[in-house]
Amino acid sequence: MKGIRFHASPVLEIKLPAWRSRLVMLVLFAGFLALLVRALYLQAFSTNFLQSQGEMRYARTLEMPATRGKIMDRNGVVLASSLPAWAIWALPEDVDANPDQLNSLARLLDVPVGEIKKKTNDEERKFVYLKRQVSPELADQIEHLNLSGIHERKEFHRFYSQGETTAHLLGFTNVEDVGQEGIELAWEKDLAGQPGSRRVLRDRLGRVIEDVASIRVPHDGQDLTLSIDGQIQYLAFSQLKAAIDAHRAKAGAIVVLDVRTGEVLALANWPTYNPNDRSDLTGAQLRNRVLTDTYEPGSTLKPFTISLALEKGVVTPETMVNTSPGKLTIGTATISDSHAHGTISVEDIIKVSSNIGTAKIALRMDPKDMWEMYTSVGLGQAPHLGFPGAVAGRLRPYKAWRPIEQATMSYGYGLSVSLMQMARAYTIFARNGDLVPLTLFKADGPPQSVQVLPPGIAAEMRHMLEQAAGPGGTAPKAQVVGYRVAGKTGTAHKLVDGAYSENKYVGSFVGFAPVSNPRIVVAVMIDEPGDGIYYGGDVAAPVFSAVVGGALRKLSVEPDSPIKSLIIPSDALSESP
């Protein structure tokens, strides 16, 4: 090896082309240039994108729910409020629990363990709720299980203190605390408030490790004060339910109005439901019959026909009308009274509830005047209460009325109304002939009214309606110890498949008290009473009596009649259906 020179190696004598070395240098330079450009692009132009991608892995924006506003009665009693609750949720890919832990979780949640396993093993879903609206005490027990991948989130549970008593008025919220029915739905924007949000840092298990910033402060919902009096509401509900049970009726409704302010003091329906437990809720239970159901008012409409005739000078209270022989044929149709009354005064037409007498007076008037009278008290128009589902009823244009239709409408057939419409209409008799708007919220001052009847006519009708609710009238059972009452019964055949049923009725009573200085109007409707007792004076008037007595005492209204036991005559008249 000593005789060999290294620089003389044949390999080193091979000369490569110069362009190859230059090409390698160019490729290396291009690579470094590309890296430089990429670095400049990432550092100078993609900073926001990269930061947002990074934050997606550890930063979260959490919603801070606003507390839903309370709903209170006129005396400040809380009827609906939102209580703290927790949602139990899971990240399926992070769940790590043995069978004993899953069994413990299922037992606490009262959920089948198979359902828990199914949800936590579904790795295609990034997020899954295990149960909503869990109590804070139960949430603490679940937290102590220390299950990986199982988390809790604060939410709210709506609680209704009077349960089924105020269900149709208040309505309810869903699991997200969003209004679905009643006041909760109608005033959702005011009650819900504005949720806030905050920025937090989380670890890989989803646990919050640091608060970064508050983005938006939550604003709690507005509290609402209703016109409802909780005690009168309970009284009305309990008396309605007792009457429906006693008469084996299909359904019923009741509403109590303050004559002076137009405030709704009570509104109740049966059947009802418990908004705190809606597991067995049906459509029939949801119906707010006071506002959403219509019926033919029957004889409760007669006072409006007679008051119009008095105003137009067609009759006076003493005018005699021949109702013999208890039947009246108009065209091909015949109408009748429940009893033959002979020749009676206009005052007695209301007292004994004569269909024939009312029809004869109505046929002496212009149909347009009758239609205007009915519309002036709100019939054919939905009440402006801001309540979902309130109906207008049905009142056909007067130009389409035939004589028989004009006659039957005069005593409450051929048109339909809601119970709320009838209650409001009767305020013109309880007041001095003027009509006030209704409200479900506590009034701050006297309402603006519209004159419908002359005060003198309203006073005459108060007298007639007091006679109708007294001995010899159709509703002596409406009397109240210590108070003078006035009102009118209604008994109407129900329309079934386009024809009037022979054995299905709606019994109703609408009245007010005390007559000397009316304070409340109460309207009661009993749908399809059974056992052969169906007249409004038998099924609805006693409910009116019980509610009026209790409500006037609750309102500290001074009695206007000697306090003595009432003797109800056994031969009390029944109105003509």
Beta bridge partners of 480: 483
Strands 78-90 and 150-160: antiparallel
Give the Cβ contact number of residue 414 at 10 Å.
18
Query: Distances in Å between the alpha carbon of 549 and those of 61, 263, 490, 559?
Result: 58, 19, 21, 10
CA distance 257 to 565: 27
Q: Could you give the strand order of the β-sheet that contains 208-216, starting from the edge strand earlier in sequence?
A: 59-64, 196-202, 208-216
Burial classification of residue 389, based on how many CB atoms lie within 10 Å of its CB (0-12 exposed, 13-18 middle, 19 or more buried): middle
Q: Are 169 and 255 in contact (CB under 8 A)?
A: no
Phi, psi of 44 (to 5 degrees): -100, -35
Beta bridge partners of 375: none
Question: Which amino acid is located at 112 in the chain?
Answer: P
- CA neighbours closer than 13 Å in the CB half-sphere of residue 174: 5
Q: Is 299 a catalytic residue?
A: yes
Q: Exactly one of 81, 104, 227, 299 is catalytic; which is it?
A: 299
Q: Are 365 and 335 in contact (CB under 8 A)?
A: no
CA distance 141 to 162: 30
Phi, psi of 225 (to 5 degrees): -110, 110
Q: Are 184 and 170 in contact (CB under 8 A)?
A: yes
Question: Which amino acid is located at 419 in the chain?
Answer: L
Task: Give DSSP secondary structure letters for 479-507.
Answer: -BTTB--EEEEEEEEEEETTEEEEEEEEE
CA distance 56 to 242: 61
Q: Catalytic amino acids?
A: 299
